[in-house]
Amino acid sequence: MKKDEIFEILSDMNFWFKDMNTGIRREHYISLIKKKVKAKEILVLSGVRRGGKSTILKQFAKSLDVEKERILIVDFEDYRWRSRKLELLEKIWNTYFEYMNPKGKPYIFLDEVHSIEGWEKFVRTISERGKAYVIVTGSSSKLLSKEYASLLSGRYVEIRVYPLSFEEFLLFENISFSSKQEILANKRNILSKLHEYIKIGGFPKYVLTRDIDLLKAYFETIIVKDVAERYEIKRIDKLRKLASFYLSNVGKKITFNSVSKFLEMPLHTVERYSYYLQDAFACFFLPSFSYSLKTQERLPKKVYSIDTGLSNVVGFRFSEDFGRLMENIVFNELTKKNDEVYYYHNPEIDFVVKEGKEIKELIQVSYASGMDEIKKREVDNLVKASDLLRCKNLLIITWDYEDEQEIKGKRIRFVPLWKWLLKIE
């Protein structure tokens, strides 16, 4: 490609000669990037396709108090890039410096950069030589595999981007509160919006448009581009069937062997495809906690979706178990904040949060609006697990029941999901 042609494409992607509407700001991520971007490490924004990475990247770029010439944004999904080889990155870099001549260390944003073969070498070079602050994005957790980490010399920091949180969902619905008192006064509206949020999920563009075909298209793109094309899978029908099964059964225990038998698919195919789907952030497999790694591997895993809206749209049977969808919301929030999250197999506990060597918290999720609706088994299991795991921090997340009780010598908190999500416990 000629330099003039490259510069024309870059001009469409950048703020150099025009302003661009970057939508509703996701302040949490912008603040997080600001804290980490000036470290010497490469900053990686990873997450599911259409979860908001590209928009957040542009929002952060727009927030920078530097000359526009010092910011370079490159979207590698643009169809006009005829090449996907490493030479393209070098040509873009040289064209940018020749045409814009930035004064000062530039900020380089490489969106969906994993589509360029050998991108790691280029990124590592400009970062190690202090030529630029570098942020890259990608829709595959393979972006952070051991091979890539080795190529980047381990010098990277990851920020995982998720679809909208409930707090962000309210902002997209033009709902905001200035105080805890105002939040409490609007409880009825918040509960209504929470029900809506659990139903439609948090993909930003879908929340704004409510065009259900968008979610269906997202699912197909994840299946085809992020999995089938990347791993050269020919039987896309089997991959699609497996993904639909998982998204239809959130919060349930599975083994790859049982899934293999149920879907009449070879076990090795189920295993491979399942991990590919997890790499693409479509679904996740939560292990049971055990002090024995061998036992942990042997026990079933629980499956969760990246987004409840995606589950409700593409699942081949709609899950009427609202409690499991609530559980999925809690799972996604927990994994944002904690590196180690598990479930407990016997007695069954929805979530075990571990920090270092210590069990930090045990959590049950119940679609209940009163104590009489909470299953006795859920409480009993929490009490038993408290002794087994030596954890006193016990929580039951409910739909709309709040209390704190001492049961069999254990202090248990009951907190409504909306309060837990909005952090006003």
175-187 CB burial, b ≥16 within 10 A, e <16: eebeeeeebeeee
* pLDDT over 60 at 169, yes or no: yes
Q: Is 175 found in the same domain as 156? A: no
Q: Domain range holding 319? A: 168-421
How many structural domains are present in the chain? 2
Q: Is 396 found in the same domain as 378? A: yes
Q: Is 140 found in the same domain as 61? A: yes
Phi, psi of 413 (to 5 degrees): -95, 140
- Whether the bond into 106 is cis, omega within 30 of 0: no
Q: Which amino acid is at 114?
A: H
Distances, alpha carbon 257 to alpha carbons 174, 244, 290, 335, in Å: 46, 17, 21, 26
* pLDDT over 70 at 218, yes or no: yes
On whether the CB atoms of residues 156 and 127 are closer than 8 A, the answer is: no
Q: Is 208 found in the same domain as 153? A: no
Query: How far is residue 389 CA from its own chain's centroid?
Result: 29
Q: Is 155 found in the same domain as 29? A: yes
- Of 162-176, 193-207, 316-330, the poorest mean pLDDT is in 316-330
- 330-360 pLDDT tens trace: 999 999 987 799 999 999 999 999 999 999 9
Instruction: Name which of 114, 113, 15 is nearest 65 in CA terms.
Output: 15
Query: So what's the pLDDT on residue 149?
Result: 63
Mean pLDDT computed over every residue of the chain: 92
Both tokens of residue 68?
A: 């526009």
Q: What angle do CA 308, 310, 312 make, to 5 degrees?
A: 70
pLDDT category, 318, cuts 50, 70, 90? Answer: very low
* pLDDT over 50 at 18, yes or no: yes
Last residue of a domain, one of 136, 161, 186: 161
Distances, alpha carbon 292 to alpha carbons 142, 148, 285, 347, in Å: 27, 29, 18, 16
Q: Is 318 found in the same domain as 379? A: yes
- 356-412 pLDDT tens trace: 999 999 999 999 999 999 999 999 999 999 999 999 999 999 999 999 999 999 999
Q: Is 128 found in the same domain as 81? A: yes
Last residue of a domain, one of 114, 131, 161: 161
Which single residue is written with the structure tokens 């997450």? 47
Q: Is 195 found in the same domain as 125? A: no
- Strands, E, within 211-300: which ranges? 253-254, 283-286
What gap in Å lies between CA 309 and CA 326, rounded to an integer?
A: 12
Q: Is 372 found in the same domain as 248? A: yes
Last residue of a domain, one of 161, 176, 193: 161
* pLDDT over 90 at 88, yes or no: yes
What gap in Å lies between CA 288 and CA 306, rounded to an integer?
A: 19
- Look at residue 410 and give its three-state secondary structure: strand
Sequence-distant (≥ 6) Cβ neighbours of residue 321 within 8 angstroms: 251
On whether the CB atoms of residues 421 and 405 are closer than 8 A, the answer is: no
pLDDT category, 316, cuts 50, 70, 90? Answer: low
What CATH number is given to the structural domain containing 99? 3.40.50.300
- 282-301 pLDDT tens trace: 999 999 999 888 989 899 99
Query: So what's the pLDDT on residue 324?
Result: 94
Q: Is 353 found in the same domain as 264? A: yes
User: Which contiguous run of DSSP H or E holds residue 353?
Assistant: strand 349-355
Cut 0.75: pTM above it: yes
Share of the chain above pLDDT 70, in %: 95
* pLDDT over 50 at 319, yes or no: no
Q: Is 270 found in the same domain as 400? A: yes
CA quadruple 89, 92, 97, 98: dihedral sign = positive
- 111-148 pLDDT tens trace: 988 888 888 889 988 988 889 999 998 776 666 555 55
Query: So what's the pLDDT on residue 45?
Result: 92
Q: Is 203 found in the same domain as 102? A: no
On whether the CB atoms of residues 374 and 406 are closer than 8 A, the answer is: no
